[in-house]
Amino acid sequence: MKPQNHAASFAERLLWALAVLCLLPLGVTTAARHLAASTKLELSPSDAVAFELPSIAEKQPSQVLWSQTRRSEFARLKDLFHRAEIARLEFPTLDVIVPVFAGDDEVSMTLGAGHLSDTSSVQGHGNIAITSHRDGAFRVLKDLETGDRILLQTPSGTRDFRIARRLIVNPDQVDVIAPTSDTTLTLITCYPFYFVGKAPQRFIIQAELVTPESADSMTDAPLVQRLPTLRNRGKRYEKAI
């Protein structure tokens, strides 16, 4: 082989080796991203309906009143869990919006608020119960007054409620989430709002639907299916909210 051909062949092999070395980090980064995406926890409720509104990432709940611990938990969980909203609570007098998720577990109550599954659905009639943490999304409840409006945004439209009563009850007083003949919105959190340790009581807001809807306009689970489960909620209702 002529010297110049040998040199050209060596240079060509060197260039290929450099190209592989340059592309290797990109391949590793891409693989890592795919791995992270594949292992990210997806906990979207089967009955959740996506909103044609800004997502929670674009419209996060106000954290002005939140404790530092709750803010840290929100920052940690929002990137680990994707949970589709089933509704949104809007408090016009406070200019606050809170996303509502299916289930009253820790993730739902940290990212926003959780709907108690064995009460009326967010689009149904009867008693609709929603809960969250007193040092998080539901600390705003302390600033609401009787007569204030609460808007419940659902996939089928916005429901207009007006606060009828504010109550402080013991954890075993589960009658506040009992089925009602009228459409009622019940919001639940722990009380006192600023308390070191597990708060001993519950702060309740109950609001009544301003404009009654026709029976065909909303859906709901049959009342008879919910009655046997009400008293079984005692221990779940007593947990720290």
* Active-site annotation, residues: 133, 190
β pairing state of 113-115 and 96-102: parallel
Cα 203 from Cα 201, distance rounded (Å): 7
Which residues have CB under 8 Å from 236's CB, separation 6+?
104
Quickly list DSSP for 135-163: TTGGGGGGG--TT-EEEEEETTEEEEEEE
Which amino acid would we find at residue 102? A
Cα 61 from Cα 133, distance rounded (Å): 13
Cα 128 from Cα 178, distance rounded (Å): 10
Angle at 110 (CA atoms; ends 102, 73), nearest 5 degrees: 145
